[in-house]
């Protein structure tokens, strides 16, 4: 599947407006019929990163933002590798979270909220081989 080109806007507000227009007005339907809703407030979680790796997202991430249109493409990509998400609080895999791995190292995470319904959690480039291997070692979604 061909992915959209990277998106280049001049400022964060333009990316935010694009996110709200594309994702927040109506759900995105995945390749397998899951209706994924997007809340406006997940923009900060998705497009900011922690510069100190301490969990505090303090810096707008241009590389994440440039791939804003990849979120929809990944959700609709029938060739995406699908894995269960990791629940770090309970230290176990969580079948209510689905990680779609596409383009080698780009992930989109959704959380199921009912039959054929989910909420968008986040999307990002996996930045280390160790983290990529952890995702690939996760149980596959069925």
Tens-digit pLDDT profile for residues 82-135: 999 998 889 999 999 999 999 999 999 999 998 899 999 999 999 899 999 999
Q: Are strands 35-37 and 117-125 parallel, antiparallel or unpaired?
A: parallel
Q: Tell me the per-residue pLDDT of 10-42, one tens digit each, with 9 for 90 and over.
A: 999 999 999 999 999 999 999 999 999 999 999
pLDDT classification of 54: cutoffs 50, 70, 90: confident
- Domain-located, residue 1: no
Q: Is residue 29 part of a domain?
A: yes
Q: Is residue 79 in some structural domain? A: yes
- Tally of structural domains, the chain: 1
Collapse the DSSP code of 9 into the 3-class scheme (helix H, G, I; strand E, B; otherwise coil) and give the result: coil
- Write down the pLDDT at residue 119: 98
pLDDT score, position 57: 80
The residue whose two tokens read 């019929």 is: 33
Within a domain: 6: no
102 near 70, Cβ under 8 Å? yes
Residue 50 lies in domain:
12-136
Whether residue 86 is contained in a domain is answered as yes
Q: Is residue 115 part of a domain?
A: yes
Domain presence at residue 3? no
Prediction pTM value: 0.94
Q: Residue 11 gets which letter from DSSP?
A: S
Q: Is residue 87 part of a domain?
A: yes
């Amino acid at each position: 599947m061909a992915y959209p080109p990277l998106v280049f806007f001049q400022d964060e507000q333009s990316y935010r407006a694009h996110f709200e227009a594309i994702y927040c007005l109506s759900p995105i339907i995945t390749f397998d019929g899951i209706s994924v809703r997007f809340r406006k407030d997940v923009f900060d979680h998705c497009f900011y990163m922690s510069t100190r790796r301490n969990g505090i997202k303090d810096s707008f991430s241009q590389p994440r933002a440039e791939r804003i249109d990849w979120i929809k493409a990944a959700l609709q990509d029938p060739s995406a590798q699908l894995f269960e998400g990791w629940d770090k609080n309970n230290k176990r895999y969580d079948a209510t979270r689905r990680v779609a791995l596409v383009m080698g190292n780009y992930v989109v995470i959704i959380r199921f909220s009912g039959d054929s319904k989910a909420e968008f959690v986040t999307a990002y480039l996996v930045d280390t081989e160790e983290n990529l291997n952890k995702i690939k070692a996760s149980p596959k979604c069925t």
